[in-house]
Structure 1
Amino acid sequence: MSLKDNSLSRQLKTQGIILGSFVAIFWVLEFIDQVIFRGRLDVYGIIPHRLIGLRGILFAPFLHGSFGHLIANTVPFVILGWLVMIQETSDFWIVTLVTMIVGGVGVWIFATPGSIHIGSSILIFGYLGFLLARGYFQRNLASIIISVIVGLLYGGLVWGVLPSAPGISWQGHLFGFIGGVITARLIAKEKQYYR
């Protein structure tokens, strides 16, 4: 095995551990919430316009309303999360942090008072926004190819930023997406600066 193969293998292992850890946290928390707390952990989500609701910016992406909600979020989280990491694993942490803040604050300011917003879809839409915008901002072949592939596979998700069915946090989707686009711009600027 060459040094390059060994480095790629280590990188893939690290990425797998990161994504696996997130998914494990999602599933363990949902199991505990459903079995022990009977769904009462959801109050740690984002509660718009209430000071206590700001704590949800940190907790909401890790909480889900049901196992069905979690199942629906797990696969796109892993696929899009890994695509965010494909060029640099550190991009995942930056996109995740910025998306949580921008998405969470956007939900807290603009969502309906008294509602509770939970779910990793805020991150999924952040990753989607990042991946779609990265090709435009970075203008390198790898980024453009990933943007096109993501657009073909997941472009239909963009409609999730619009109001749809009750109980779905379109605000989380919208502001998560915006957080991802902002991060794509910030990372592209940083990469241009260090060239």
Structure 2
Amino acid sequence: MIKKLLITQHIPAMSNFKIVLVMVAIMWVVHGVNMLFSLSFDSFGLVPLSREHLFGIITYPFIHGGWQHLIGNTLGLLISGYLASQLSSFKRATGVIFVTTGLLVWLFASHANHIGASGIVMGYFGFIMGSAIFRRNLLSFLLAVALLAVTHYFQINLFGTLFSFDSSTSVSSHLFGFISGVSAAYLFKGQAKKST
């Protein structure tokens, strides 16, 4: 049963994961160009309730404050994105996470320039955990366990970052990303039954 499940999920999952790889590639190219030419891409960040920064809902995940910030988000995105890409409705969930997280940050976050992909990372985390709760199938449960095991191995405290009040951390992005991911899992919980 597990072998059949993995085989049927393999090709769509590889196609899904390409979306994550494209996001990571854009992040690195943007940051590389920013550093190489001493540009200021921070203006593409997301400033809550600023109409001039409304486009930041789409652009802010691709902007990072430094190499450490970029590397940390890259690792988190590759791990959570790869595991989330194994689930059906991943593409739809990505759209919901991307837009909803940005919109919630723009509407309700504290006034600051929000940058970085951590909201998307936490969105995938919420999608995986929500899928384990709402879908209640073997694959969703295994992915949730795998995510917790891998993040523990790499000493990434995903639950801790939900409530990190470090002044340099956008707790709003983390929290709203997680909520968006759980919401996507609930919205598409019936997708798993249709695709099996």
TM-score by length of 1: 0.85
Summarize the alignment of residues 98-117 of structure 1 with structure 2, pairs less than 5 Å apart: 98-113=96-111, 115-117=112-114
CA RMSD, Structure 1 to Structure 2 (Å)? 2.6
**Structure-1 separation of matches of 2:57 and 2:169:** 17
Q: Spell out, residue by residue over 1:134-162, the C-alpha distance to the aligned partner (whole angstroms, 9 max, x if none).
A: 01101111111212232344483122122
- State the distance in 2 between where 1:18 and 1:51 align: 28
The answer to whether the 8 A contact 1:161-1:173 is kept is yes
Question: What displacement does 1:74 show?
Answer: 0.7
1:165 is matched with which residue? 166
Give the structure with the larger helix fraction.
1
Residue deviations 1:77-109 (CA, integer Å, cap 9, x gap):
011111111133xx3322221112221111112
- Kindly indicate whether the alpha-carbon contact (under 8 Å) linking 2:16 and 2:90 is maintained by their aligned counterparts in 1: no
In structure 1, the partner of 2:85 is 85
Q: Take 2:115 and 2:28, find their aligned partners in 1: how far apart are those partners?
A: 14
How far apart, CA to CA, are the structure 2 residues paired with 1:50 and 1:146?
38
Is this contact kept in 1: 2:64–2:116, CA < 8 A? yes
Farther off after superposition, 149-158 or 97-106? 149-158
Task: Compare 175-184 and 6-15 and name the one that shifted more.
Answer: 6-15
User: Aligned equivalents of 1:173 and 1:74: distance in 2?
Assistant: 15
Greater shift in the superposed pair: 55-64 or 11-20: 11-20
Tell me whether 1:139 sits opposite 2:136 in the alignment: yes
Matched to 2:42, the amino acid is D
1:33-182 equivalence runs, <5 A: 33-38=34-39, 40-88=40-88, 91-113=89-111, 115-154=112-151, 156-182=157-183
* SS of equivalent residue, structure 1 residue 188: coil
AA aligned to 1:124 is: V
SS of the aligned residue for 2:106 comes to helix
CA 1:18–1:192: 2 relative to 1, 3 Å: closer
Aligned-partner Cα distance in 2 for 1:52–1:194: 42
Give the 5 Å matches for 1:23-38.
23-38=24-39
Contact 2:128 2:143 in 1 (8 A): yes
CA positional deviation for 1:8: 7.2
Judged with a 3 Å threshold, the aligned counterparts in structure 2 of structure 1 residues 191 and 74 are, in CA distance, closer, same or farther, namely: same
Aligned length, in residue pairs:
188
Partners of 2:53 and 2:169 in 1: how far apart?
Answer: 18
Unaligned runs of 5+ in 2: 1-5
- 5+ residue gaps in structure 1? none
Q: Distance in 2 between matches of 1:140 and 1:12?
A: 17
